[in-house]
């Protein structure tokens, strides 16, 4: 509804823009996919960034922020220099703990080591190989 005196429109949930003509990302039924707040001025999402509600990103708050994982985006990934898995692996949730699956030839809990530095390391539970990048099939332990 728009105030005739001021010309300012107050949009219903899920809509924004000067005249409330733009649907928020995520749709009217679930603006920002329920993981953020839709700005009624321009219909863009401000995604949640909290320990309890999760750390979300994307235009519609549809994915975890780069340093978090898990179904609720509340599990912190191992960081090196502020980058999840040192940029050399993929973060995943293993029983509530953020773990890295390192790219080939990288190792350590945050994938910060490579090459000969990976020789003789003890791999995380569920992984094997020189760089600890091979996932054990069917069990978390090899």
CA distance 97 to 75: 6
Instruction: Give pLDDT tens digits along the chain (142 positions).
Output: 677 787 777 888 899 888 889 999 998 899 999 999 999 889 999 999 999 999 999 999 999 999 999 999 999 999 999 999 999 999 999 999 999 999 988 989 999 998 888 876 677 777 776 666 677 877 666 6
Tokens of 81: 């220099």
b/e 24-40 (16+ beta carbons within 10 angstroms → b): bbbeeeebbbebbebeb
């Amino acid at each position: 509804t728009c105030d005739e005196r001021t010309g300012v429109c107050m949009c219903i949930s899920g809509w924004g823009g000067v005249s409330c003509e733009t649907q928020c990302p995520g749709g009217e039924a679930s603006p920002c996919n329920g993981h953020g707040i839709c700005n009624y001025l321009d219909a863009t999402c401000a995604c949640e960034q909290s320990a309890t509600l999760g750390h979300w990103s994307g235009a519609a708050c549809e994915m975890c922020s780069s340093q978090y994982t898990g179904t609720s985006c509340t599990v912190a990934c191992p960081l090196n220099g502020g980058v999840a898995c040192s940029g050399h692996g993929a973060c995943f949730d293993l029983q509530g703990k953020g773990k890295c699956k390192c790219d080939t030839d990288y190792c350590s809990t945050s994938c910060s080591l490579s090459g000969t530095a990976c020789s003789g390391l003890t791999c995380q539970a569920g992984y094997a190989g020189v760089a600890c990048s091979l996932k054990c099939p069917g069990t978390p332990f090899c």
